[in-house]
Amino acid sequence: MNERSRLAPWLAVALGAGVLAYFALPGEPPAAVIWVAPPMVLLAVWLGLRRPMAGWALGLAAAGLAGFASATWHAGRQAPALDVPRTATIVTGRVLTVELLAEGRRVTLAEARFDGGAMEERTIRIRLKRQDAAAPAPGDRLRVRALLRAPVGPSVPGGFDFQRASWFSGLGASGYALGPAEVSPGLAPPPAFAALRADIEARVAAAVPGAAGAVASALLTGGQTAIAPDDLAAMRDSGLAHLLSVSGLHIAIVMGITFTGLRWMLALLPWAALRLPVKALAALLALGAGGFYLLLSGSQVPMQRSVAMAVLTTAALLAGRRALTLRGLAMAAAAVLLLQPAAILGASFQMSFAAVLALIAGWEWLRPHVPVAGTGADWRRRLLLAGFGLVMTSILAGAATTPFGLHHFGRLQVYGVLANAIAVPVTTMLVMPAGMVAALLMPLGLERLALVPMGWGVEAILAIAHWVAGWPGAAMSAVPIPGWGLGLCTFGLIWLCLWRTGWRLFGLPFLLVGLASASLDRRPDLLVSGDGRLIGVHAGATLFTQRLSGASAMTRENWQRLYAVTETEALPREGALAQGSVQCTAGACRISLGDTIPAAVVLRGDSPREGCASAAVVVSAEPIRGPCLAQVVDRFAVWRDGPHAIWLRPDGVRVVSDRAFRGDRPWVPPVPLPRGMASAAPPAAVE
């Protein structure tokens, strides 16, 4: 079969590669690159009209440059980082959103001011006190005394970069209130969808209290903050977490019900059925319902992809063409990347597009081999084919998203196919239809009639999730595959899905090597957190930690995920661990992984003199003063350059700091300066 029709989607792949190239840089590229991309794209279009293959080849380079330029432009247009006060401050601002948490309300403020100073361009997120009686709504003005901090960096070099995510989302600081909040009505009208979202959440909570209400709110408005941690864990471990994230499944249900219902209603009216294009009109109104749902649920990346696909599907339906195609998916991906290039780094974008890519390509391959249920087929045949389709959908989507789940979360959901086979029909036939009816009844105040049945369906889904998550081995921890392994998996999946002929199988070796990359990638032997309060030593199959007061529990959990361990062991006061590779005394622990491998010393009270003379690297939660022949990772080093990772290898010691890994990027804070000092250089040696 001719493969030339499959060339166009590779332009979207090149666009994404260009975006990734930008984020892989150690520093910012010159702004002039933004102006080079448009003429190159035009040149590729001009050449493609005359010599299609040459134009496509040039188009790959032009698309890559366009993705690079788009990411550069979006990064450069963001508001500057905030100078967050180091002490408690009075924060005033306009309420954008209100989220319900177990610990109390959390508000996001725009037009914020610190102690009556200048208006800040970035948003501020503050968790109000649990007992605070204030009930702010979107659009209100809020004043509260709070303790804030800037977005935190990765917990390990190469880990999830919340500072980068905050840079592109516009978040400037977050914190918690120290006193009651003062709320006053705002002068400007509240954001339309934020106010509507808050009203829907309040109505759902009133009609469906408890865990079911929190999940029902998430399905209608996209906010998951009110869901209890144990319910989130059960949904995740059972493979049903995707049901909580408003995505393609939900919008397909909304648009499908809208389309079918409107077409049926119009067909019942003889005047409309004879004079109006019923199918086209129903399709356009269903698209409008999908767009409304997108705005109501917060315009998350899976929804953006789904709405972009819905637009193309509607256009194809009106033109009498096939609705779901790889070209349509590629156009949707390109639209998201041009509008939000940083989305490509997130699990949501990656898993959403990977699942749909596998479903479209898999259906293309399966369609000639699957019998069709004709109009005269009995119910048993129809039920069998529907069950086969549901199982194959779960298998294809689950297999396509497995590498991304391993990279981001380090977990495998073993029984996800079975759980989805039970829970997805409940979502499709009861939960989402009832939610749509509830939304239509809200203006009349009758939403409870539909919300209560919706709550029954949600309770059934939660019961399925807890049931499946409780099975032996339901969710297994696995060593996360590294970034280069995920890149191989992604390329292999794309190659396998975009081509039709036998050479598509050349993608399988890339997939296999990518999945095996975790066993080929050596993890650090020592880790030091950004505040020095947590030091990790990986020896054998165990992660040993030294924890000081105030050490971050989240950092420890991220380290456990990195090493695929469920628990850590404390470094003992004295004794030998891991077959003698870790020797601890009251004042220090010595790590020696072999006779030919350099040793490391973790100080905890001893003088650094002996460690500096006998080890290749010395780690300390306190500053090390004086000359040291070994590499030093102490309190001052992590304060200046963030968390450190250390590898002990026969060819020497490798020490990588977070600052060295990320480079000089707009979202990476500058080297901090000690008070009263003009330089961040280490303190002078004390003889």
Last residue within a domain, chosen from 126, 160, 188: 188
User: Residue 31, Cα to own-chain centre: how many angstroms?
Assistant: 28
Nearest to 303 by CA among 313, 293, 311: 293
pLDDT of 4: 75
Question: Three-class SS of residue 656?
Answer: strand
Residue 245 confidence (pLDDT):
73
Domain match, 471 and 491 both: no
Structure tokens at 9: 């989607």
Which pLDDT band holds residue 173 (cuts at 50, 70, 90)? very high
Residues 50, 128: one domain? no
Phi-psi region of 575 (alpha: psi -120 to 50; beta: other; left: phi over 0): left
In a domain, 583, yes or no: yes
Q: Which residues pair with 656 in a beta bridge?
A: 645
Highest mean pLDDT: which of 144-153, 181-190, 411-420? 144-153
- pLDDT in the model for residue 603: 94
Structure tokens at 236: 């995740």
| Distance in angstroms (rounded) separating the CA atoms of residues 508 and 573 | 50
Q: Do the domain assignments include residue 334?
A: no
Could you read off the pLDDT of 190-227 as tens digits, one per residue? 667 777 888 888 888 889 888 888 888 888 887 777 78
Is 232 a residue whose pLDDT tops 50?
yes
Residue 680 confidence (pLDDT) above 60: no
Q: Which residue stretches of 77-209 are H helix?
A: 162-169, 192-207
- The answer as to whether 173 is a domain residue is yes
Contact 631, 618 (CB under 8 A): yes
443's tokens: 């203006």
532 and 512 both lie in a single domain: no
| Candidate from 21-35, 145-159, 242-256, 356-370 with smallest mean pLDDT | 242-256
Element at 538 (helix H, strand E): strand 534-539
- At CB < 8 A and 24+ separation, what contacts does 307-312 make? 307/251, 308/332, 308/335, 308/336, 309/248, 309/356, 310/251, 310/255, 311/287
Q: Measuring CA to CA, how many Å separate 404 from each of 185, 378, 490, 573?
A: 45, 40, 9, 40
Rg (CA), the chain: 28
What average pLDDT does the segment 660-673 reach?
92
Question: Residue 312's pLDDT is what?
Answer: 76
The predicted pLDDT at position 302 comes to: 66
Contact (CB, 8 A) for 479 and 563: yes
Average pLDDT over residues 416-444: 87
State the pLDDT at residue 28: 94
- Tell me which amino acid residue 469 is: A
Query: Which token pair is 498?
Result: 């975009």
Dist. CA 91–CA 103, nearest whole Å: 20
Per-residue burial over 96-105, b if 16 or more Cβ lie within 10 Å, else e, is bbbbbeeebb
Distance between CA 244 and CA 211 in Å, rounded? Answer: 13
* Mean pLDDT on 46-75: 94
Q: Is residue 678 a part of any domain in this protein?
A: no
Residue 564 pLDDT greater than 70, yes or no: yes
**Per-residue pLDDT, 687:** 36
SS3 per residue for 255-276: HHHHHHHHHHHHHCCHHHHHHC
The structure tokens listed for 665 are 């990027």
Within-domain flag for 294: no
The pLDDT tens digits of the residues spanning 354-372 come to 988 998 898 888 877 777 6
Where would I find the beta strands (DSSP E) of 25-140?
89-101, 104-114, 123-127
Residues 106, 179 share a domain: yes
Question: Which residue, 21, 64, 76, is CA-closest to 334?
Answer: 64
Same domain for 594 and 447, yes or no, is no
Domain co-membership, 437 together with 568: no
**Three-state secondary-structure class, residue 523:** coil
Residues 6 or more apart from 650 whose CB is under 8 A from it? 594, 596, 597
Asked if residue 348 belongs to a domain, the reply is no
What's the helix, strand, coil split of the chain in %, to 5? 50, 15, 30
Q: Which of 239-248, 345-354, 471-480, 497-506 has the lowest mean pLDDT?
A: 239-248
- Where does a domain end: 188, 220, 239? 188
Between 69 and 139, residue with greater pLDDT: 69
Amino acid type, 592: S
What is the pLDDT confidence band of residue 678, given thresholds at 50, 70 and 90?
A: low
pLDDT, position 527: 96
Distance CA 507, CA 489 (A): 9
Mean pLDDT of 8-28: 95
Name the domain boundary from 76, 101, 135: 76
My answer on whether 422 and 556 are in the same domain is: no
Tokens matching residue 616: 């290749």
> Is there a contact between 332 and 305 (Cβ–Cβ < 8 Å)?
yes
pLDDT of residue 597: 92
Structural domain of 378: 201-280+365-477
> Burial, 589: exposed, middle or buried (Cβ in 10 Å; 0-12, 13-18, 19+)?
buried
93 close to 57: Cβ distance less than 8 angstroms: no
Using DSSP's 3-state secondary structure scheme, residue 542 falls into strand
> What's the pLDDT tens digit per position in 131-160?
888 889 888 999 999 999 999 999 999 999
Tell whether the model's pLDDT for residue 24 goes beyond 70.
yes
Average of per-residue pLDDT values in the chain? 87
Mean pLDDT value of segment 500-526: 92
Please state, in angstroms and rounded to a whole number, the distance separating the CA atoms of residues 13 and 16: 5
Answer yes or no: are the C-beta atoms of 101 and 149 closer than 8 Å: no
How far apart are the C-alpha atoms of 384 and 129, rounded to whole Å? 54
Pair 101, 151 in one domain: yes
Burial of 88 (0-12, 13-18, 19+ CB in 10 A): middle
Judge whether residue 323 has pLDDT over 70: no
447 and 493, same domain (yes or no): no
Average pLDDT in the 643-651 region? 94
Question: Is residue 16 located within the same domain as residue 62?
Answer: yes
Which pLDDT score is estimated for 686?
Answer: 37
Determine the Cα–Cα distance for residues 430 and 445; give it in Å rounded to an integer: 21
Among candidate residues 552, 562, 407, the one with its CA nearest the CA of residue 484:
407
pLDDT of residue 648: 94
Does 596 map to a domain?
Answer: yes
Helix (H) or strand (E) holding 413: strand 411-413
Domain count along the chain = 5
Does residue 515 share a domain with residue 536? no
Please determine, for residue 510, whether its predicted confidence score (pLDDT) is greater than 80. Answer: yes
Q: Is residue 530 part of a domain?
A: yes
pLDDT tens profile 603-614: 998 889 888 988
* Residue 1 predicted with pLDDT over 60: no
Q: 263 vs 22, which has greater pLDDT?
A: 22
pLDDT band at 67 (very low <50, low <70, confident <90, very high): very high
Helix (H/G/I), strand (E/B), else coil: 414:
coil
Q: Are 558 and 666 in contact (CB under 8 A)?
A: no
> pLDDT digit string (tens) for 582-629?
999 989 999 998 888 999 999 998 889 888 988 999 999 999 988 888
Average pLDDT of the segment spanning 373-393: 71
Q: Which residues pair with 385 in a beta bridge?
A: none
269 and 392 part of one domain: yes
